[in-house]
Structure 1
């Protein structure tokens, strides 16, 4: 019995390590490109969208074999609610994702110290957007407030989750030759290009809160509030979770329940039975 428990613990540790590593890579690309554009003046909105998408792709390739590469607590929760993923693993996966995002943001903060300090000596919201999202991307001109960002994050994450399920559902037209990570990356590029105005398309609680905390601990005193003075940090945590649940529900209602059932299909996010530590 003790040996079995040890094997299970090792398996869960390996899965969490993979989630940590995949999310770490995602944030290195994502926050790195925003720092380069904002503080370094190199690139534009399109390079940000593409780099975030590439970060997702590379993160999935890093963690895909071990876990299916959730890289996002909202995705993990939706897979537990709709695809039989073990609820016991939700918290460990989420913590690993947050930690990966946090440490990757610290690397970006360290590497771009000179550029950030020169661009924004006071470390204000002018460069805060390198690490975390704000309604209207920190602008007051658009008039987007907290609840506008909340609405936007539900919609954006619902789109993400619905498409992840569509792309990874083997009963559907799933990409062949291990191309799913690339296609999911393109989904993130598309969301960035179409849904980035109102709230910066966090669509991932770990992606936002990990770097937000890292920036707060390294000099950004206003990191938890938006430009209107509202406590905003909770919006990119709660809204993406609701959005992911909505997206999974919509996929199953509109598509999934009409597809043929196959005993050989492996559900997204579920580790093969012999490797499961649930």
Structure 2
């Protein structure tokens, strides 16, 4: 009975167009990333370090990327208690940084852009290596874990300047939310109009990372037939030696 009901629901409501399926998948994926990632930041900031630290934030974003589905909701007053009821973008009690990235005081616009290009290039470079079936690659089903560990590596090695947004959707959407939720449009003006760097920097970095992997690794892969011959020759050599 249950399977019959499920088939009816699937026949009536299941999406047919791939673009819509991909949209829902991306929507849910980004939601989970923001939920775990920004949640770990909020816990660290609002508890003033009592219930979180940089490492817990890194783990929050790493696990958020790895998780497939998790939905939670609710209303908390912790934000209002922390900032005395004010929605502050910059300063000691700022809370806008819970949702989007802002540059450290020492970071210039150029260095911030290069930071995002480098981080995003490293991410794409590693993802291409992990998913390349003609390289060592990762075991099937382990790709999300490996990519999550790449995010963790970027977090602990490149997070000083501005965190590690390295994804336009991860930064712009929460920033837009804060603009409409009470922090105002200063979230786009803060840090010398910083907002565009986590949007366009990763786009450039993605192209750079892909180009580096292609030029250094993928371009030099053996053709499938030649690769099979090489593998056969290696096996023959092993048998001969044994």
TM-score (normalised: structure 2) = 0.78
Taking CA–CA contacts closer than 8 Å with sequence separation of 6 or more, which of the two structures ends up with the larger relative contact order? Answer: 1
| Equivalent of residue 103 in structure 2, options 118, 135, 156 | 135
How far has the Cα of 1:10 moved from its partner?
A: 1.8
- Aligned pairs, number: 203
Deviations 1:143-195 (A, max 9, x none): 21322211110110000010010111111111114111001001001111110
1:246 maps to 208
- Offset of 1:12 from its aligned partner? 1.4
Corresponding residue for 1:124? Answer: 88
CA contact (8 A) 2:15 2:21 kept: no
Match of 2:64 in 1: 55
Are 2:177 and 1:214 aligned? yes
Structure 1 residues 251 and 145: alpha-carbon distance in aligned structure 2, compared to 1, 3 A threshold: same
* 8 Å Cα contact 1:154/1:239 also seen in 2: yes
Question: Could you tell me which residue of structure 1 aligns to residue 52 of structure 2?
Answer: 43
CA RMSD, Structure 1 to Structure 2 (Å)? 2.1
CA distance in 2, matches of 1:124, 1:261: 57
Q: Larger Cα Rg: Structure 1 or Structure 2?
A: 2
Distance 1:22 1:144 in 2: 30
Q: Is the 8 A contact 1:154 1:243 kept in 2?
A: yes
Contact preservation (8 Å) 1:132, 1:209: yes
Does residue 127 of structure 2 align to residue 176 of structure 1? Answer: no
CA distance in 1 between counterparts of 2:28 and 2:167 reads 16
Gaps of 5+ in 1: 1-6, 63-103, 264-278
* C-alpha contact 1:135 1:148 (8 A) present in aligned 2: no
Q: Which residue of 2 aligns with 1:225?
A: 189
Look up the match of 1:190. 153
Tell me the distance in 2 between the aligned counterparts of 1:169 and 1:54: 23
- Given that residues 49 and 189 in structure 1 are in contact (C-alpha distance below 8 angstroms), is that contact kept between their aligned partners in structure 2? yes
- Inter-CA distance 37–171: structure 2 relative to 1 (3 Å threshold): same
What is the aligned partner in structure 1 of residue 3 from structure 2? none
Supply the distance in 1 between the matched residues of 2:75 and 2:98 (Cα, whole angstroms): 13
Helix, strand or coil for the counterpart of 1:26? Answer: helix
1:150 paired to 2:113: yes
Check whether the contact 1:135–1:226 (CA below 8 A) recurs between aligned residues. Answer: no
Give the match for residue 10 of structure 2: none
Residue of 10, 33, 39 corresponding to 1:32: 39
CA distances 1:83-130 after superposition (whole Å, capped 9, x unpaired): xxxxxxxxxxxxxxxxxxxxx9xx88x644x11111123211221110
Rounded to whole Å, the distance in 2 between the matches of 1:256 and 1:154 is 21
**Which contiguous aligned blocks of 4+ residues in structure 1 show a shift greater than 4 angstroms?**
none
Give how far 1:226 is off: 2.4
The residue matched to 1:21 in structure 2 has which SS?
helix
Q: Is the CA contact 2:116–2:164 (under 8 Å) kept in the aligned structure 1?
A: yes
Return the alpha-carbon distance in structure 2 between the equivalents of residues 24 and 18 of structure 1. Answer: 10
- Structure 1 residue 261 displacement after superposition: 4.1
1:232, distance to aligned residue in structure 2 (A) = 1.5
